[in-house]
Structure 1
């Protein structure tokens, strides 16, 4: 009861804790609701089949989702016949897909697929107008494209633009051609759909199908058919899950930091109060319970508000994630009652954990010590804090040295370790550093005429706890913002330079408005194409990125090109599968056939693909493969008609745009983390200054009685706040600098290229400016209200 009463009486001191807990619980609630929602739906073109059988799953790498290995053609046909003979099955249809896109029509990724007409029976939609394709030159398309039966239509395929006549339209996505034409354009089969006779029990047929396919497939029914959603959706969901998880973890961690720092400063401000309670008989245990009671009251109120806010904001956050590309289109969040309950409990727990150190400090207050304490902070540092701060700073220094000499894989981790260690170390040492640093930096103020400059300087030096409590969160946020944004930009620039330096070509022909280059575009460009495909190797059918290359590849990459029945693999792939030069490597290709290819070379892992195959071999087994790029070694410009959807750019421009979508997602992810950390810092700074200003009413009164005007008082307080924020920003830059310069030096040594440091100045300026404005408002507004009360008194 006492804790609740004091929390209500000192609400301004605990406002920052309340807001931090509320926001942390809101983020956790929203993140958990989105993560636990199964956003994958059954694809429309397969939803008409109650039972679906998919090929066995291969080995998936974290964050990289690819299609399952296809069945061999003979095995796919055998399974189809076996499934078609099951009781209650009206038909078993093998599904295949190939790249198809209407020329000059903007479409989403999932709609760029063509299928044999027989698979239209698996869709939950049907013909809306016209009839099925009867010849190889006829096609059925989505009605939303705006075509009607009889219209001519140019469709982009892997071979090049193909002329069709629209025979009919459907109420769903996709392009449907005759089965014979689709067999020429499509790769292997991965799905077989079962159409049931009326009144047939789906569960009985599914059980029979499982017995029929054994280990050669997975039977899906009901909602589990959502596993056949486009793999791009799974990749998008995985990326979104990483973003939400990082935000939830960061919010929980920073909430503990805000609660801990706010209560620590509040306890320091209330030492006389605690000393008075000790003199009237309060025990250390009772003081500890008092502080915990305050934290429980604030944490429960903040957690309740945050849980409710998280439930309300979950649908809105889902829309934001979809727009940003972190969730697939059509994703819907599902509310679960226990998620906000668990988030509420976690919020209360975080508040109690954060107040642990402050409660111990309160319990150690002695009656006479508190009553004798002066206004000046004479001993702001404890021995334990000093040792921990020096140890963390030493670790950061060691990591900084290591960053300059580490390999590319360890540079980012060491840079992060450097910044984190230095941030923790300087935050812990802030009370000891503030006095000397402020004294040295503000020495010119002592020689300036007028009392305001001297007052600002002396106030910062004497009130070490207040100054360090404001400096610490600003330092941490600036260091984090500078390190993360600048490291991402520097590494991206270095990677672009590395890719451009590795290619010996005059220009690059790249796709424009399509996923890749067709054979027609490559032939017109006259360059060396990289025909992208996926192969599967090893007992676990591990998916490997592969490219079909021609003899010109040797000139472009200075790597021997495979010929005939040979293959070139990277060192990591060779080590993982036990492949060596001169040995055979069994690889399953896109049509489901397995070939044993002789390894003629093992190359560095810096290659853009894990496996290099002869161009003709890839085209033979993957009729729908597209080239990512075609490099040209001649200076003469290529003549590329608009219908081929290809552009010629410089090698550097292609290297910069190669991973444009991935870079965009990384930047959004990075900026979201910076915004979250800056938001919590704003809460910590505002809370500290509100508490400090509320406790400086006596200082304000003394200044007014000494002859200072209200304007001079407010100017002094505002100037002090600006100096403190500027000091925190400077220390934050100093903290991030060793990690950044070490990263640049390490990348230069690793790549042998002139890597430059890239600083995200707009974001740094925005963060510091926002903190400065908020801190000034949190200081001036309460002080102005206190001055108003003094005038009325």
Structure 2
């Protein structure tokens, strides 16, 4: 029974760890792209060719021009088995309800997209009321918006509000207009869907379509059509995968950590038992085999139970991920054998790995240990432990600095996770050396307030420094990880907001209001200030086949040349920018003044631009500058992201009513600029903290329960020496509180040291002073949880043991 109690903590740790791994694997496998609903009825889809973009994880496809689209459509329609080849055109549009776009949770991309009526056939859509749109000014909308056929509706487009009449309703988000209207609003096409006859073979049709398209596109069928999912969904799915990978990695690390600490503590408590085994003839190999056998049993049982728990929790967590924005609405869990096979192998492996160090220590127990009555440690720290601990702390510090200088937020989060692992492991290795100094710092309050109890607590902790450090290790893990990760995220968020605000010479900012961007009507109040972003595609010198996506800003050429926009001119003159065939490029484009530069615009048209100036990289917020008229002509759906407004108070122009825009101050804009991604990262952080805190709770309770069960003889001596039950319980409570305090101090040292390094790196990165944000609520919550669990795990078993021995110990 005692052995089962000793292994209970390790078993729970393995169960939770394997459950998290199974859960993460099931969710990761479910994270494959899904065919968008609006293209589900097209058995074969021809997608425009892809592009390359070092700064974009999901680069856009290169659109076909209207002429090329019509040519492909005719050829594809003629294929055997094809009933129709439909060009799917997408453009920005939103309905205005009471002067504003309706609020949509998560601002889904399909709620602000319009398509031609023929695209309804690609998704199998049919009218639930009314009739199809037949000309300009007519639209079919989602029934959920509350309109009825015949109602007038104001639609916000890239140029501004336009009056339409609702002719019909469907049960799907988005807007459907006449095909000729869609061709004007979205001349470039990125997908052509093929509707097949009942007897057609999709594989044969796809093969024939590839012969027509060649290298000018991709032919997708079956599950391959998942590549057509919206880029917003793809990015949300990718962020979710990063979060799940981090949780699985942390689960494996902390499981090994908890199992190792459990077995190490168990071996320390069983030294006399192990010494007795050695005295009766057991060899070191047999002792190791015994410990490994116990670990293997824990691993197998824990793996089976973990599989059951993880599989049952997967659908519930999937719904939470969708609600939190980590996954798109199409996310669905699918069960397969791979996660379960991995878990069955991983459970025993993790348990054996955690017990490795404890087994080696158990094999070194000498037969004379059976005769020892005192548990005085001969040496708390060895040379190897010093070296390993120091190296891990150095590695963790380097990784902590790397989190601040990483170019990508997710890369920074990954480095932060590895940094936390290295720093925590290093501090755990060096913890025995820190026990005595910390206890000495606390000596005065313990001596004054505790009397004999304080003396016993202090001397017991310093005499058995390794045991004290092992008991405090779970607290160290929980506090250090929670404070480090939460502080890193909060400090980084504040730093990037400060950097954005410092780089803007304005008092207020005009920003979108429930829209993905602002229309021309919204920015008309600030003539010359609005920059219209878009994307062009062009070859990159010496970078292989295919076109690269380049970011473009359409500017008011006269106003831009007059104003000081911070553009550092390397060659040429900004004053020469004008007309539809001139461009200003950055140095990374690698084009000189006077060079011809052919590009493909968003409408699929290829135009040769003439370079009139070269500016330094990062001195403008794009790769190319063109005239605003040129960008609008080739990209009818382009939207302005923000406009900086000088001055303040009454001098600030208000946002035009009914245009989907609002005016906010710079500080608010800087905080909201990446609010969606910041929210996802913070949710990711809370998931990691929840995992680490949950494991910490298990480890704290398990370690102190084992400690209390092994202290029966000590407590009996205290009672025989005259201590009352209350004094004994107070001694255990004080010892538990001291352990939590030691763990919290060591964890805080690890976390705050790393946070200082992160702040220094962030200050250099954003070019502004960065304030260290300490998550005091997280610190208080985690330390309070550990203290509560420690007191319960220490005092409750003690009170039970005292009641059981009441007859043998006089009052």
Q: TM-score range by the shorter chain?
A: over 0.9
Q: Distance in 1 between matches of 2:726 and 2:3?
A: 27
**C-alpha contact 1:406 1:746 (8 A) present in aligned 2:** yes
Once the two structures are TM-superposed, the CA of residue 501 in structure 1 deviates from its matched residue by 1.8
Specify the alignment match of 1:236 in structure 2.
236
Once the two structures are TM-superposed, the CA of residue 243 in structure 1 deviates from its matched residue by 0.4
Q: Distance in 1 between matches of 2:56 and 2:319?
A: 22
- Seen in structure 2, the aligned counterparts of structure 1 residues 70 and 394 have a Cα distance that, compared at 3 Å, is closer
**C-alpha contact 2:528 2:556 (8 A) present in aligned 1:** no
Q: Distance in 1 between matches of 2:133 and 2:763?
A: 59
Once the two structures are TM-superposed, the CA of residue 585 in structure 1 deviates from its matched residue by 4.3
Specify the alignment match of 1:50 in structure 2.
43
Once the two structures are TM-superposed, the CA of residue 422 in structure 1 deviates from its matched residue by 4.5
Specify the alignment match of 2:487 in structure 1.
486
- Seen in structure 2, the aligned counterparts of structure 1 residues 419 and 166 have a Cα distance that, compared at 3 Å, is closer
**C-alpha contact 2:52 2:59 (8 A) present in aligned 1:** no
Specify the alignment match of 2:64 in structure 1.
71
**C-alpha contact 1:503 1:556 (8 A) present in aligned 2:** no
Specify the alignment match of 1:543 in structure 2.
549
Residue number among 632, 655, 659 corresponding to 2:645 in the alignment = 632
Structure 1 window deviating more from structure 2 (578-587 vs 631-640): it is 578-587
Give secondary structure in 1 for the equivalent of 2:524: helix
Q: How does 1:31-110 map to 2 (within 5 A)?
A: 31-37=24-30, 40-59=33-52, 64-104=57-97, 105-107=102-104, 108-110=108-110
Once the two structures are TM-superposed, the CA of residue 618 in structure 1 deviates from its matched residue by 1.5
Using the size of structure 1 for normalisation, the TM-score is 0.92
Once the two structures are TM-superposed, the CA of residue 44 in structure 1 deviates from its matched residue by 2.7
Specify the alignment match of 2:607 in structure 1.
595
Q: Distance in 2 between matches of 1:318 and 1:143?
A: 28
Give secondary structure in 2 for the equivalent of 1:613: strand
Give secondary structure in 2 for the equivalent of 1:195: strand
Pair 1:559 & 2:567 matched? yes
Specify the alignment match of 1:322 in structure 2.
322
Specify the alignment match of 2:209 in structure 1.
209
Specify the alignment match of 1:744 in structure 2.
759
Q: Distance in 2 between matches of 1:738 and 1:231?
A: 39
Residues 87-130 of structure 1 deviation map (CA, whole Å, 9 limit, x = unaligned): 23232221111111111233433221111223233231212222
Specify the alignment match of 1:5 in structure 2.
none
Q: Distance in 1 between matches of 2:596 and 2:726?
A: 84
Q: How does 1:182-193 map to 2 (within 5 A)?
A: 182-193=182-193
Specify the alignment match of 2:174 in structure 1.
174
**C-alpha contact 1:527 1:631 (8 A) present in aligned 2:** no
Specify the alignment match of 2:797 in structure 1.
782
Q: Distance in 2 between matches of 1:580 and 1:691?
A: 74
- Seen in structure 2, the aligned counterparts of structure 1 residues 396 and 174 have a Cα distance that, compared at 3 Å, is closer
- Seen in structure 2, the aligned counterparts of structure 1 residues 527 and 438 have a Cα distance that, compared at 3 Å, is farther
**Aligned residues: CA RMSD:** 2.7
Specify the alignment match of 1:758 in structure 2.
773
Residue number among 666, 684, 689 corresponding to 1:669 in the alignment = 684
Specify the alignment match of 2:454 in structure 1.
453
Q: Distance in 1 between matches of 2:380 and 2:735?
A: 19
Give secondary structure in 2 for the equivalent of 1:332: coil
Once the two structures are TM-superposed, the CA of residue 336 in structure 1 deviates from its matched residue by 0.8
Residues 485-537 of structure 1 deviation map (CA, whole Å, 9 limit, x = unaligned): 22222222222122122222232111111111111111134462232323333
Specify the alignment match of 1:4 in structure 2.
none
Q: Distance in 1 between matches of 2:31 and 2:483?
A: 36
Residues 318-372 of structure 1 deviation map (CA, whole Å, 9 limit, x = unaligned): 0111111111013110011332232121111111111111111111111024433
- Seen in structure 2, the aligned counterparts of structure 1 residues 643 and 403 have a Cα distance that, compared at 3 Å, is closer
Once the two structures are TM-superposed, the CA of residue 689 in structure 1 deviates from its matched residue by 0.9
Give secondary structure in 2 for the equivalent of 1:351: helix
Residues 245-295 of structure 1 deviation map (CA, whole Å, 9 limit, x = unaligned): 110011101111111111111111111101101111111111011000100
- Seen in structure 2, the aligned counterparts of structure 1 residues 139 and 486 have a Cα distance that, compared at 3 Å, is same
Give secondary structure in 1 for the equivalent of 2:640: strand
**C-alpha contact 2:654 2:662 (8 A) present in aligned 1:** no
Structure 1 window deviating more from structure 2 (252-261 vs 115-124): it is 115-124
Residues 56-89 of structure 1 deviation map (CA, whole Å, 9 limit, x = unaligned): 2223658732431112333222211111222232
Pair 1:267 & 2:267 matched? yes
- Seen in structure 2, the aligned counterparts of structure 1 residues 369 and 198 have a Cα distance that, compared at 3 Å, is closer
- Seen in structure 2, the aligned counterparts of structure 1 residues 544 and 240 have a Cα distance that, compared at 3 Å, is farther
- Seen in structure 2, the aligned counterparts of structure 1 residues 174 and 736 have a Cα distance that, compared at 3 Å, is closer
Specify the alignment match of 1:442 in structure 2.
443
Once the two structures are TM-superposed, the CA of residue 448 in structure 1 deviates from its matched residue by 4.9
Residues 534-591 of structure 1 deviation map (CA, whole Å, 9 limit, x = unaligned): 33333432334433233445647422666444445556xx1xx644666554432211
Structure 1 window deviating more from structure 2 (115-124 vs 247-256): it is 115-124
Pair 1:682 & 2:697 matched? yes
**C-alpha contact 1:415 1:743 (8 A) present in aligned 2:** no
Give secondary structure in 1 for the equivalent of 2:200: coil
Residues 762-787 of structure 1 deviation map (CA, whole Å, 9 limit, x = unaligned): 11111111111111111111111111
Residues 611-661 of structure 1 deviation map (CA, whole Å, 9 limit, x = unaligned): 443322221111011111122235422233431121111122212111110
**C-alpha contact 1:403 1:739 (8 A) present in aligned 2:** no
Pair 1:712 & 2:727 matched? yes
Once the two structures are TM-superposed, the CA of residue 19 in structure 1 deviates from its matched residue by 1.1
- Seen in structure 2, the aligned counterparts of structure 1 residues 527 and 567 have a Cα distance that, compared at 3 Å, is closer
Residues 138-182 of structure 1 deviation map (CA, whole Å, 9 limit, x = unaligned): 112222322222111111111111101112222333312122222
- Seen in structure 2, the aligned counterparts of structure 1 residues 390 and 18 have a Cα distance that, compared at 3 Å, is same
- Give the gaps of 5 or more residues in structure 1: 1-7
Q: Distance in 2 between matches of 1:499 and 1:764?
A: 29
Residues 409-449 of structure 1 deviation map (CA, whole Å, 9 limit, x = unaligned): 99999988876554333321212221233134224423557
Structure 1 window deviating more from structure 2 (199-208 vs 14-23): it is 199-208
Specify the alignment match of 1:165 in structure 2.
165
Q: How does 1:294-333 map to 2 (within 5 A)?
A: 294-333=294-333
Residues 691-748 of structure 1 deviation map (CA, whole Å, 9 limit, x = unaligned): 1111001111111112211111111111111122112212222223333223333444
Once the two structures are TM-superposed, the CA of residue 220 in structure 1 deviates from its matched residue by 2.0
**C-alpha contact 1:525 1:640 (8 A) present in aligned 2:** no
**C-alpha contact 1:423 1:476 (8 A) present in aligned 2:** yes
Q: Size of the alignment, in residue pairs? A: 781
- Seen in structure 2, the aligned counterparts of structure 1 residues 608 and 271 have a Cα distance that, compared at 3 Å, is farther
**C-alpha contact 1:187 1:624 (8 A) present in aligned 2:** no
Q: Distance in 2 between matches of 1:690 and 1:326?
A: 38
Q: How does 1:374-413 map to 2 (within 5 A)?
A: 374-393=374-393
- Seen in structure 2, the aligned counterparts of structure 1 residues 346 and 653 have a Cα distance that, compared at 3 Å, is same
Using the size of structure 2 for normalisation, the TM-score is 0.90
Q: How does 1:195-206 map to 2 (within 5 A)?
A: 195-206=195-206
- Seen in structure 2, the aligned counterparts of structure 1 residues 406 and 21 have a Cα distance that, compared at 3 Å, is closer
Residues 24-80 of structure 1 deviation map (CA, whole Å, 9 limit, x = unaligned): 111111111111125543323222222211112223658732431112333222211
